[in-house]
Amino acid sequence: MEIEQQSLLIPTATRIQTLDITSEVSGFVRESGLKEGIVFVYCPHATAAVFLNENEPRLQRDVLGMVKKLIPSSEPYEHNAIDHNAAAHLAAILVGNCVAIPVSGGALGTGTWQEVFLLELDGPRKRTVNLVLLGD
């Protein structure tokens, strides 16, 4: 079993947005030379997340709308007394900071409509996404 690692630095442009990082993750897997295994995509930030879903513009807008509806930034959260980003922290908890994707034949084993996304919740910032590939 081999382990390959890489960190991506992803600049974000707005307060809340989705960014398709599939090509970066696929490129990492391809360049590793490993054919079978699992890749972990991990976001080490408390106000950002990662998820898998379809890269269709209306759906991505719906994702942002869902986050805003479920966790409105206008609520009187206690954490807002510190830096007014409690909604970003709470949304990151719901979405999650890691996905695990199978690797088969040297390629991502995602479903037909699945892409890998970084979800910015407190931007704009430069976000790190760590990739760890375990395989042969």
CA atoms within 13 A on the CB side of 93: 7
CA distance 135 to 29: 10
pLDDT in the model for residue 72: 96
Instruction: Dump the DSSP string for 63-80.
Output: HHHHHHHHS-TTS--TTH
Question: Length of the chain, please?
Answer: 136
Please confirm whether the linkage preceding 124 is cis (ω < 30° from 0): yes
pTM confidence score: 0.96
Q: What is the pLDDT along the chain (136 residues), one digit of tens a residue?
A: 999 999 999 999 999 999 999 999 999 999 999 999 999 999 999 999 999 999 999 999 999 999 999 999 999 999 999 999 999 999 999 999 999 999 999 999 999 999 999 999 999 999 999 999 999 9
Domains of the chain as residue ranges with CATH: 2-73+83-135 (2.60.120.460)
Instruction: Report pLDDT for 26.
Output: 98
pLDDT at 94: 97
